[in-house]
Amino acid sequence: MRIFAPLLEVEINTNAMRIAQRLILLCFTLVLALTAGAQSKYTEEADNAYAREGYYEAAEAYKRVYPKIKSIEEKGRVLFTIGECYRLMRDCAGAEEWYEKAITAKYYKENADVFYNYAECLREQGKFDEAIVQYQKFQERGGDAGLAAGRIKDCESAAMMIDEPPTRYVVENEVILNSAQFDYAPAFSDKKGDEMVFSSSRQASTGSGDDPITGESFMDLFQSERDKKGKWSTPTPLNNTVNTTSNEGAASFDSKSKEMYFTRCIYTKKGNFACDIYNVKKQGKQYGVAELVPIIDRECDGCNDSSQVGHPALTPDDMNMIFASDMPGGYGGKDLWYISYDRKAKTWSKPKNLGDKINTKGDEMFPFVHENGTLYFASNGHTGLGGLDNFMAASTGEMQFDTPVNMQYPINSSSEDFGIIFEGDKDQGFFTSNRPGGKGKDDIYSFKMPPLEFCLKAVVYDYDTGTPIADSKVVVQGTDGSSYEIMTDGNGGFSLCDGQIIAETNYSVDVSKEGYIGTGDQFSTVGLTESTTFAREYFLQPIILNTEYELPLVLYPFDKAELLINDEVNSADSLNYLYDILVRNPTFVIQLEAHTDTRGKADYNQNLSQRRAETCVNYLISKGIHPLRMKPVGMGESQPIIKDKEIEALATEEEQEKAHQVNRRTIFKIIAYDFVEPGDN
Q: What is the pLDDT of residue 384?
A: 83
pLDDT digits (tens, 9 = 90+) for 638-681: 999 999 999 999 999 999 988 998 898 999 999 999 999 887 66
pTM: 0.73
d(CA 539, CA 477): 20
Q: Which of 187, 116, 188, 197 is nearest to 154 (CA)?
A: 116
pLDDT for residue 550 is more than 90: no
In sequence order, the β-bridge partners of residue 469 are: none
pLDDT for residue 25 is more than 70: no
Average pLDDT (282-290) is: 93
pLDDT for residue 213 is more than 90: no
The answer to which of 207-221, 466-480, 514-528 has the lowest mean pLDDT is: 207-221
Q: Which of 428, 449, 430 is nearest to 183 (CA)?
A: 430
d(CA 313, CA 261): 8
Q: Alpha carbon of 430 to those of 161, 446, 555: distances in Å?
A: 21, 4, 62
Q: What is the pLDDT of residue 270?
A: 62
pLDDT band at 192 (very low <50, low <70, confident <90, very high): very high
pLDDT digits (tens, 9 = 90+) for 62-79: 999 999 999 999 999 999
Q: Which of 391, 386, 388 is nearest to 402 (CA)?
A: 391
pLDDT band at 40 (very low <50, low <70, confident <90, very high): low
pLDDT winner (highest mean) among 39-53, 158-172, 254-268: 254-268
Q: What is the pLDDT of residue 332?
A: 85
111, 143 Cβ separation under 8 angstroms: no
Q: What is the pLDDT of residue 397?
A: 94
pLDDT digits (tens, 9 = 90+) for 112-127: 999 999 999 998 888 9
Higher model confidence: residue 681 or residue 437?
437
Higher model confidence: residue 358 or residue 5?
358
pLDDT digits (tens, 9 = 90+) for 613-626: 999 999 999 999 99
Q: What is the pLDDT of residue 290?
A: 96
Q: CB 104: neighbour CB atoms within 10 A?
A: 10
pLDDT band at 391 (very low <50, low <70, confident <90, very high): very high
Q: What is the pLDDT of residue 208?
A: 56
Q: What is the pLDDT of residue 272?
A: 58
Q: What is the pLDDT of residue 274?
A: 79
pLDDT for residue 249 is more than 50: yes
All structural domains of the chain: 24-143 (1.25.40.10), 170-369 (2.120.10.30), 454-542 (2.60.40.1120), 548-672 (3.30.1330.60)
Q: Which of 617, 661, 612, 619 is nearest to 634 (CA)?
A: 612
pLDDT band at 60 (very low <50, low <70, confident <90, very high): very high
Q: Alpha carbon of 60 to those of 6, 66, 71, 78, 299: distances in Å?
A: 19, 10, 20, 11, 36
d(CA 454, CA 142): 54
pLDDT for residue 444 is more than 60: yes
pLDDT band at 89 (very low <50, low <70, confident <90, very high): confident
pLDDT winner (highest mean) among 14-18, 126-130, 329-333, 491-495: 491-495
The answer to which of 263-272, 349-358, 635-644 has the lowest mean pLDDT is: 263-272
- Considering the chain, what is the average pLDDT of its residues? 89
Q: What is the pLDDT of residue 607?
A: 96
pLDDT digits (tens, 9 = 90+) for 131-157: 999 999 999 999 999 989 988 988 888
Q: Could you give the percent of the chain with pLDDT greater than 70?
A: 91
Looking at residue 182, its amino acid is F
pLDDT digits (tens, 9 = 90+) for 567-585: 888 899 999 999 999 999 9
Q: What is the pLDDT of residue 593?
A: 96
d(CA 451, CA 523): 19
Looking at residue 395, its amino acid is S
Q: What is the pLDDT of residue 558?
A: 84
pLDDT for residue 559 is more than 50: yes
Q: What is the pLDDT of residue 631?
A: 97
Q: Which of 89, 116, 88 is nearest to 102 (CA)?
A: 116
pLDDT for residue 563 is more than 70: yes
